[in-house]
Chains A and B, each alone.
Chain A
Amino acid sequence: MDVWLGAARAAAALNVVLLVGLGYVWLDNYREHRARHTLGLLVFAVLLFVQNVLWLYFYVLHPDFIAWFVNSGTDVRAGVTLLCGLELGALVFLGRITFT
Chain B
Amino acid sequence: MEGVLWYLLASSRGGSTRARIIRALEERPRNPNQLAEKLGMDYTTIRHHLDVLVENNVLRRSGDEYAAVYLFTDRTEAHWETVEEVLETVEGDE
Contact = CB atoms under 8 A, between A and B. Distances in A.
A35 B10 contact: yes
Contacts of B6: 35, 37-38
Main secondary structure, interface of B, reads helix
B93 interface: yes
Contacts of A97: 7, 12
Contact of B13 (A33, A34, A35, A100): A100
A98 B10 contact: no
A75 B14 CA distance: 42
B89 A35 contact: yes
Given A34-B92, A35-B10, A37-B10, A29 B3 contact: no
A14 interface: no
A25 interface: yes
A32 interface: yes
Interface of A: 25-26, 29, 32-35, 37-38, 41, 97-100
